[in-house]
Amino acid sequence: MPSLRIILLLTFSFIARLGLAQRSIPLYPNGVPNAKSVPDEERSDANQNAFNVSNPTLTIYTPPKANGTAIIICPGGGYGTLVIKREGYEVAEAFNKMGVTAFVLKYRLPSDKTMIDKSIGPLQDAQQAFKVIRQRASEWHVDPNRIGIIGFSAGGHLAATTGTHSDKAVIDNKEAINLRPDFMILLYPVISLNDSLGHGATRKNLLGTSPSAEQIKLYSNELQVSKKTPPTLLLHAGDDQKVPVENSLVFYEAIHRQGVPAAMHIYPKGDHGFLGTPTRDEWMELCKYWMKRNGWLND
């Protein structure tokens, strides 16, 4: 029988390894750009949904055996909250099981109170996440050419914006770090901010109550697709009552016209958020298959 001392040592060693497997770091250790000097009013509810986020972070989930692929996770919430547990931390754990290093991005929620220009705040954070990860890739055992992004709902809008605006840096990038995702996975994404397709709350929170036609066009990502847009997987439900499935359809059509590799799966049911059906295991299997077919996962 092992002694109590040995059992305790093994237990503490296991806990220490778990502690190293995930940790949070500030996205901007030297000060947040485009920020006003106001008190931090971030709060969370019983479900760990985050509100009033003004100090962005990356939470790093390191798998036991990293395969070099990494993914940045953008939770949804209409740019008014972050569903960071269900569409962030739990998703990171699922990617870790594939050997993928996952980074949950707690991005700033657009606010005139905390930002000089709220329309670029979330995109700044996504671009900064790519910059930080590529600069520190060796530290986290990540291949800088195998870093993707996944986004849910408004987080899908942010992910798509990151993929279609990568040539337009909205952060300080004098090092000329590549800000383009190598691949994108978009789940029930807000793509368009046009009246006919867009999600009203997402547009209002990002652009305000009276956005210009130029702003609406700029952040309607089906209109921003080019041949440089990353390969994309789209997952949506046909009965989505909040973000019409046409958002995914128009984005697929746009990237297909540009010759960008893309795949799309439309579930007949699932509504917005895939609450219950399809299960996370179901749609993660599709992600896994697509990533394997494209060389981002080892067999």
Sorting pLDDT into bands at 50, 70 and 90, what band is 22?
A: confident
In degrees and rounded to multiples of 5, residue 267 shows phi and psi of -80, 140
For residue 203, give the H/E element and its range.
helix 200-207
Judge contact between 89 and 120, C-beta under 8 A.
no
Q: What is the pTM of this model?
A: 0.92
CATH of residue 47's domain is 3.40.50.1820
Q: What is the pLDDT of residues 168-191, one digit of tens each?
A: 999 999 999 999 999 999 999 999
pLDDT digits (tens, 9 = 90+) for 117-171: 999 999 999 999 999 999 999 999 999 999 999 999 999 999 999 999 999 999 9
Strands (DSSP E) along 95-176, which ranges? 101-106, 147-152
For the chain, give the percent of residues with pLDDT over 90.
Answer: 89
| Overall domain count for the chain | 1
Q: Which domain covers residue 192, as residue numbers? A: 26-293
Asked if residue 8 is part of any domain, the answer here is no
Residue 298 lies in a domain: no
The pLDDT value given to residue 83: 98
The letter for the amino acid at 14 is F
Q: Is the pLDDT of residue 15 over 50?
A: no
The answer to whether position 81 is within a domain reads: yes
What pLDDT, on the 0 to 100 scale, is given for residue 21?
66
Give the closest residue to 290 by CA, choosing from 257, 259, 256, 262: 262
What average pLDDT does range 24-48 have in this prediction?
Answer: 96
Listed in sequence order, the residues at least 6 apart from 96 whose beta carbon sits closer than 8 Å to its beta carbon are 21, 61, 62, 63, 64, 102
Burial (0-12, 13-18, 19+ Cβ within 10 Å), 126: buried
CA angle 32, 37, 42 (to 5 degrees): 75
- Flag whether 20 is in a domain: no
Residue type for position 91: V
Q: What is the largest CA-CA distance in the chain?
A: 74
Whether 10 maps to a domain, the answer reads no
Q: Using the predicted structure, report yes or no on whether residue 210 has a pLDDT greater than 50.
A: yes
First to last CA, the chain: 40
CA distance 178 to 169: 10
Q: Is residue 113 part of a domain?
A: yes
Name the residue among 125, 76, 106 with its Cα closest to residue 236: 76
Percent of the chain with pLDDT over 70: 93
| C-alpha–C-alpha distance, residues 265 and 246, integer Å | 13
**Phi, psi angles (nearest 5°) of residue 79:** 60, 20
